[in-house]
Amino acid sequence: MSETVARPAGDEVILRMESITKIFPGVKALENVDLTVRTGSIHAICGENGAGKSTLIKVLCGIYAHGTYDGKIFLDETERMFSSTHEAEKAGIVSIHQELALVPEMSVAENIFLGNQPNRAGLINFDQMIRQADDLLKKVGINSLNSANNVNPNTKVINLGVGKQQLVEIAKALAKNARVLILDEPTSALTENEVDVLMDILDNLRKKNITCIYISHKLDEVIRIADDVTILRDGQTIDTKHISEITKSDIVRMMVGRELTNLFPREKHNPGEVAFEVKNYTVNNPWVAGKKLVNNISFNVRYGEIIGISGLMGSGRTELFSSIYGAFEARSEGEVYLEGKKLNIKSPTDAIKNGIYYLTEDRKKYGLVLGMSILENSTLSSLNKVSKYGLLNTNIERTLTQKFIDFLRTKTPSQLVKVSNLSGGNQQKVAIGKALMTQPKVLILDEPTRGIDVGAKYEIYKIMNQLVEQGVIVIMISSDLEEVLGMSDRILVFGIGELRGSVDISEADQEVIMNIATGVKSV
């Protein structure tokens, strides 16, 4: 991993937000928030989910138009009142959101200049667009003349990896003459090498006096790249510090309002007898005849232990467990046993009836219906518990939903709030509550803390411990090695469709896990 050192920016201020207050029905999302950003700096904004980071950025970008909030925005000491994102972009404020806004079937060049195409007499000048796109790709290190990192402007975006798509988004922002570039969780889906590339690009932009606002839960990245950091909590500004004046522990303490001396609340579990067992399980590749995504895997899980599932991308972890759950559309072979009983699972409904629940890694796409309320989402997998003869018992539905809101400490003014209006951490709690309402004997959590802050992570880890104490079998799939090592009692390590080893936590560290995953060491 390359080291990126923060470079002191000058004292000139490019952006000020003063006393920003934003109120939604029943919720004060921001209260007198201040933000001062220096020209040519990388300014990080940190805070728990629900702290107000996204709302603040939406105010700045014109998504929430002037008049829908209180407070003032100054750009180059001139007050600006944006009524749309288009107005903000014309002023040089461009945001790259966590969900990339690219059109997959269009070319890189077409995406870069979408809505902003160079034209002649009203007709798009494609030759000029290709030349300008190539120049912008050079600025972000993926120019078409560099054979080592080649992206042709005519290439369809669908044919690019996530890392290069992220860089295309930055090129798209530069095409709009961005002076303030906002990046919201830019590395959430990137590999370590892609993160290094992005850090180098941001460092180069800083040298060219382009100001960046960097929103991330990954505090190691914040320490690595930022010049200044502002911490928000409960919709208020807690403090702004130069990065040399603050540590990761300081940021966590200010984010959560208390000391978190141990980010992973490990508890001593006492494993009992084998309760869940998978034998000789194979998953065929639905796209390539004769190829297997998972090949002849066997393992067991005992009562009273958290099993961590680790492995590199493409190792077959998600395919295996979604297949066991009946949600992966590919032919599979093998046997699954729960409490000594052989199960016959053909669909998620079968799995839930048999006491198995798989919580997907993509909560927004597959785990929740964002346009529905917390109440409606919570009972989707348990309608049999809240209805009789096809009629919904709303009293039971509300009572059960409130039980899990209280248990999971979900922050919401009402059960009737749409899930789309919740922070990422609270959305994840709704998804977990939906799973727990089915009363699972086996709970499979796929990337349970992806995209949520340290405080919400800590609460989810504590919930995992509680579930184990209640006799629930907890299996956690995670790409975060620190998380796997911090919470697991035993780790199953996968590599290219194989189970390459099972390691007790007392013998595990990052080097051991990576050696097993890459086949350097066998167990």
Q: HSE-up of 510 (CA within 13 Å, CB side)?
A: 6
Q: Where are the alpha helices (DSSP H) in 176-265?
A: 192-207, 219-225, 248-256
Give strand ranges (E) for 383-452: 387-388, 391-392, 442-446
1-92+179-257 against 270-355+441-523: fold identical:
yes
Position 143 scores a pLDDT of 67
pLDDT at 515 > cutoff 90: no
Residue 69 to residues 17, 21, 155, Cα–Cα distance (Å): 12, 6, 42
Tens digits of residue pLDDT in 98-142 = 777 888 889 999 999 988 788 777 788 888 888 888 888 888 877
Q: Where are the alpha helices (DSSP H) in 91-149?
A: 108-112, 126-139
Position 452 scores a pLDDT of 76
In the chain, what percentage of residues exceed pLDDT 90?
51
pLDDT at 3 > cutoff 70: no
Give strand ranges (E) for 363-509: 387-388, 391-392, 442-446, 473-477, 490-495, 498-504
Mean pLDDT, rounded, for 36-50: 91
Position 22 scores a pLDDT of 94
pLDDT at 1 > cutoff 60: no
**244's tokens:** 């040399």
Computed over every residue of the chain, the mean pLDDT equals: 88
pLDDT at 503 > cutoff 50: yes
CA distance 185 to 162: 13
> Are 4 and 200 in contact, with CB atoms under 8 Å apart?
yes
> For the CA atoms of the chain, what is the radius of gyration?
24
Mean pLDDT, rounded, for 302-310: 94
CA distance 492 to 477: 9
Between 285 and 346, where is the model more confident? 346
Q: What is the 3-state secondary structure (H, E, C) of 251-317?
A: HHHHHHCCCCCCCCCCCCCCCCCEEEEEEEEEEECCCCCCCEEEEEEEEEEECCCEEEEEECCCCCH
pLDDT at 73 > cutoff 90: yes
Q: Domain locations in the chain?
A: 1-92+179-257, 100-176, 270-355+441-523, 363-439
Please tell us whether the domain made up of 270-355+441-523 is placed in CATH 3.40.50.300. yes
Mean pLDDT, rounded, for 74-88: 95
pLDDT at 145 > cutoff 60: no
> Are 452 and 480 in contact, with CB atoms under 8 Å apart?
no
CA distance 438 to 379: 9
pLDDT at 68 > cutoff 50: yes
Residues in Cβ contact with 301 at an 8 Å cutoff, skipping those fewer than 6 apart:
274, 275, 276, 277, 307, 442, 473, 475
Between 422 and 62, where is the model more confident? 62
CA distance 310 to 513: 8
Can you name the residues that pair with 243 across neighbouring β-strands?
none
> Are 4 and 203 in contact, with CB atoms under 8 Å apart?
yes
Mean pLDDT, rounded, for 450-470: 86
Position 333 scores a pLDDT of 93
Between 24 and 274, where is the model more confident? 274
Residues in Cβ contact with 192 at an 8 Å cutoff, skipping those fewer than 6 apart:
1
Residue 214 to residues 48, 184, 435, Cα–Cα distance (Å): 15, 6, 33
CA distance 448 to 457: 8
Closest CA to 402 of 426, 383, 423, 430: 430
356-359 and 442-446 strand pairing: parallel
> Are 344 and 350 in contact, with CB atoms under 8 Å apart?
yes
> Are 182 and 97 in contact, with CB atoms under 8 Å apart?
no
Mean pLDDT, rounded, for 407-433: 88
Name the DSSP letter for residue 143. -
Position 190 scores a pLDDT of 73
> Are 352 and 443 in contact, with CB atoms under 8 Å apart?
no
What confidence category does residue 160 fall into, taking pLDDT thresholds of 50, 70 and 90?
A: confident
CATH superfamily ID and name for 1-92+179-257: P-loop containing nucleotide triphosphate hydrolases (3.40.50.300)
> Are 293 and 498 in contact, with CB atoms under 8 Å apart?
no
Closest CA to 278 of 328, 347, 310, 324: 324
Tens digits of residue pLDDT in 243-258 = 999 998 888 888 877 6
Position 266 scores a pLDDT of 80
Tens digits of residue pLDDT in 473-496 = 999 999 888 899 999 999 999 988
Window from 86-95, 200-209, 417-426, 438-447 with minimum mean pLDDT: 417-426
Between 323 and 49, where is the model more confident? 323
What confidence category does residue 180 fall into, taking pLDDT thresholds of 50, 70 and 90?
A: very high
pLDDT at 400 > cutoff 90: yes
pLDDT at 421 > cutoff 90: no
> Are 484 and 308 in contact, with CB atoms under 8 Å apart?
yes
Window from 75-84, 119-128, 166-175, 274-283 with minimum mean pLDDT: 119-128
Position 179 scores a pLDDT of 93
Mean pLDDT, rounded, for 345-371: 91
Closest CA to 183 of 140, 142, 143, 134: 140
In the chain, what percentage of residues exceed pLDDT 70?
94
Position 97 scores a pLDDT of 80
